[in-house]
């Protein structure tokens, strides 16, 4: 072990000397707050980080401290200027002094902060989100949807415990016009790290019932600027811009519009302003309907009066025409009555002649049919005399043929001709497949029987 070595303390003292000699004080540093905590003594401890351009990986990290006395002033200054507290995720511009201690290592002591840098970074992020939505061609999609004249079936995205939600529902239900609104809450977290995912998920649940609702209302009851950052996020704005129903926002902020407001179909400041907008819109429609109804009633009354006058004029002109027509018809009937006796007598003579002719034709036809049927009966009588003897002779010939066939097919007759019959177990063998080797057979001849055992079997090919 010939190498020379120094202690850890000596090494840290050398590092501290190098840093002290470098006089790294009053340096403005840009960083992102990765973690922040305040202890019971009022000192603020921060974990400052820097990420790559994609924002996925850390490229630098350092501890920082704001001592209690300085932290009280910087905190109040930052919040009053930006409208939001110091919290994780914010990018800040701070004046630091680099300090190295042998026990605690490297620390950055923060002595000042520039709130305008943080505000500019938030505005930059908003601009980037808007530019991305515009490049994707979706930024005006929801604005181009036509908002119904009466928005009566409403999907609400809000926190169920938010005061703004309660005010909105109360104002709808107790509107002075007695208009009935149908609404359903799709609950979502409206601030914090999970707000962006929760709101996007609520829009996806509303989408499943998009055919039922007229519009979507996105509301919350106001809050600090940092609580409303989720409404500047890309995914919330993306879901609003591409949603197939008009989206109305009432986020409750007093600053400039959020990205969600800019891409929504209709933007209003507060939940109560949204409720008032929907109520007045429906009331305006009802008023228009009432006005149209009055106009229609006036038009109908005018038409009825005109038709009454027209009917009266027509009636006055119609009476003489009716009298003239009746007189013409009466004269025509009188002429017809005068001609009726002659017409009836002529018609009766004509019909009498027709009946006489029909009687003569009927008599001749009956005689002809009678003579034809007589000849037919004579023919049937002749056939009845001849048919039985012919039928009996044919039946006798058929029986003789059947008797002869039975005689020729009698086994005894076949045996006389030199044929034999072979049986196995009492069954007549009709082909070789019914006999097995070793079985006992009985062969019958005309004058006796022979019993034997099968020693071999030879099968011939099929013969036609």
Specify the CATH number for the domain of residue 73.
2.40.50.140
Q: Based on the structure, what is the number of domains in the chain?
A: 3
Percent of the chain's residues with pLDDT above 70 = 92
180 plus 51 within the same structural domain: no
Residue at 165 is within a domain: yes
HEC profile of 101-152? ECCCEEEEEEEEECHHHHHHHHHHHHHHHHHHHHHCCCCCCCCCCCCCCCCC
Residue at 350 is within a domain: no
Residue at 358 is within a domain: no
70 plus 181 within the same structural domain: no
Out of 284, 307, 325, pick the residue that ends a domain: 284
pLDDT tens figures, 380-404: 777 777 777 777 887 788 887 777 7
280 plus 409 within the same structural domain: no
What average pLDDT does this structure show over 415-444? 81
Handedness of CA 117, 123, 127, 132 (dihedral sign): positive
Say how far apart CA 399 and CA 143 lie, in whole Å: 106
Q: Pick 37 or 56 by higher pLDDT.
A: 37
pLDDT tens figures, 319-378: 777 788 888 888 888 888 878 777 777 788 788 888 888 877 877 777 777 777 778 887
Residue at 2 is within a domain: no
Q: What is the pLDDT of residue 201?
A: 94
Would you say residue 2 has pLDDT above 70? no
Out of 284, 307, 337, pick the residue that ends a domain: 284
270 plus 180 within the same structural domain: yes
What average pLDDT does this structure show over 24-32? 84
Would you say residue 212 has pLDDT above 70? yes
Would you say residue 317 has pLDDT above 80? no
SS3 percent helix, strand, coil of the chain, rounded to 5, is: 50, 20, 30
Residue at 297 is within a domain: no
What average pLDDT does this structure show over 250-278? 86
278 plus 227 within the same structural domain: yes
280 plus 157 within the same structural domain: yes
What average pLDDT does this structure show over 133-153? 92
Residue at 293 is within a domain: no
Out of 250, 268, 284, pick the residue that ends a domain: 284
Q: Pick 119 or 44 by higher pLDDT.
A: 44
Q: What is the pLDDT of residue 211?
A: 93
278 plus 178 within the same structural domain: yes
Residue at 365 is within a domain: no
What token pair was written down for 192?
């914090």
pLDDT tens figures, 268-296: 989 999 999 999 999 999 999 888 889 89
234 plus 181 within the same structural domain: yes
97 plus 168 within the same structural domain: no
Q: What is the pLDDT of residue 40?
A: 92
| Containing structural domain, residue 228 | 143-284
What average pLDDT does this structure show over 218-224? 74
Strands in 276-358 per DSSP E: none
* 212, HSE (Cβ side, Cα atoms, 13 Å): 10
159 plus 109 within the same structural domain: no
φ/ψ bin of 369: left (φ > 0), alpha (ψ from -120 to 50), beta (otherwise): alpha
- If pLDDT is split at 50, 70 and 90, which confidence band does 444 have? confident
- If pLDDT is split at 50, 70 and 90, which confidence band does 209 have? very high
98-107, 142-151, 217-226, 289-298: least confident range? 217-226
Residue at 205 is within a domain: yes
What CATH code is carried by the domain that includes residue 161? 3.40.50.9100
164 plus 212 within the same structural domain: yes
The mean predicted confidence, pLDDT, of the chain is 84
108 plus 167 within the same structural domain: no
Q: What is the pLDDT of residue 57?
A: 81
Say how far apart CA 99 and CA 24 lie, in whole Å: 8
Cα distances (Å, whole numbers) of residue 103 to 12, 21, 39, 97, 99: 8, 19, 20, 18, 12
- If pLDDT is split at 50, 70 and 90, which confidence band does 232 have? confident
């Amino acid at each position: 072990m010939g190498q020379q070595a120094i202690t850890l303390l000596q090494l840290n003292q050398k590092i501290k000397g190098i840093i002290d000699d470098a006089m790294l004080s009053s340096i403005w540093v840009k960083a992102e707050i990765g973690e922040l905590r305040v202890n019971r003594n009022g000192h603020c401890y921060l974990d400052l980080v820097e990420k790559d351009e994609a924002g996925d990986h850390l490229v630098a990290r350092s501890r920082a401290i704001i001592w209690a006395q300085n932290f009280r002033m910087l905190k109040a200054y930052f919040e009053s200027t930006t409208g939001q507290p110091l919290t994780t995720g914010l990018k800040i511009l701070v004046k630091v002094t680099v300090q190295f201690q042998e026990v605690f290592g490297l620390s950055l002591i923060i002595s000042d902060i520039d709130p305008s840098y943080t505000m500019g970074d938030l505005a930059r992020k908003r601009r980037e989100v808007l530019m991305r939505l515009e490049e994707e061609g979706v930024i005006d999609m929801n604005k181009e949807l036509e908002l119904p004249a009466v928005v009566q079936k409403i999907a609400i995205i809000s926190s169920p415990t938010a005061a703004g939600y309660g005010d909105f529902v109360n104002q709808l239900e107790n509107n002075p016009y007695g208009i009935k609104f149908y609404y359903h809450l799709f609950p979502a977290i409206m601030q914090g790290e999970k707000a962006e995912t929760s709101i996007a998920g609520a829009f996806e649940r509303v989408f499943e019932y998009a055919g039922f609702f007229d519009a979507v209302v996105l509301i919350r009851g106001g809050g600090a600027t940092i609580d409303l950052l989720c409404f500047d996020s890309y995914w919330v704005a993306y879901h609003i811009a591409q949603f197939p129903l008009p989206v109305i926002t009432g986020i409750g902020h007093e600053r400039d519009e959020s990205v969600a407001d800019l891409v929504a179909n209709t933007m209003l400041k507060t939940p109560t302003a949204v409720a008032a907008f929907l109520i007045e819109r429906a009331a305006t429609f009802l008023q228009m309907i009432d006005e149209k109804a009055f106009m229609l009633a006036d038009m109908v009354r005018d038409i009825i009066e005109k038709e009454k006058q027209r009917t009266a004029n027509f009636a006055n002109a119609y009476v003489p025409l009716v009298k003239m027509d009746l007189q013409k018809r009466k004269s025509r009937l009188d002429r017809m009555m005068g001609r009726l006796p002659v017409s009836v007598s002529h018609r009766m003579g004509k019909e009498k002649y027709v009946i006489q002719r029909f009687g003569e034709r009927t008599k001749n036809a009956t005689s002809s049919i009678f003579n034809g049927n007589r000849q037919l009966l004579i023919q049937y009588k002749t056939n009845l005399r001849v048919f039985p003897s012919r039928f009996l002779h044919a039946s006798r010939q058929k029986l003789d043929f059947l008797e002869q066939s039975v005689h020729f097919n009698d086994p005894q007759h076949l045996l006389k001709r030199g044929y034999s019959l072979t049986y196995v177990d009492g069954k007549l063998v009709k082909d070789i497949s019914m006999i097995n080797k070793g079985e006992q057979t009985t062969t019958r001849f005309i004058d006796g029987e022979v019993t034997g055992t099968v020693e071999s079997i030879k099968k011939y090919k099929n013969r036609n």
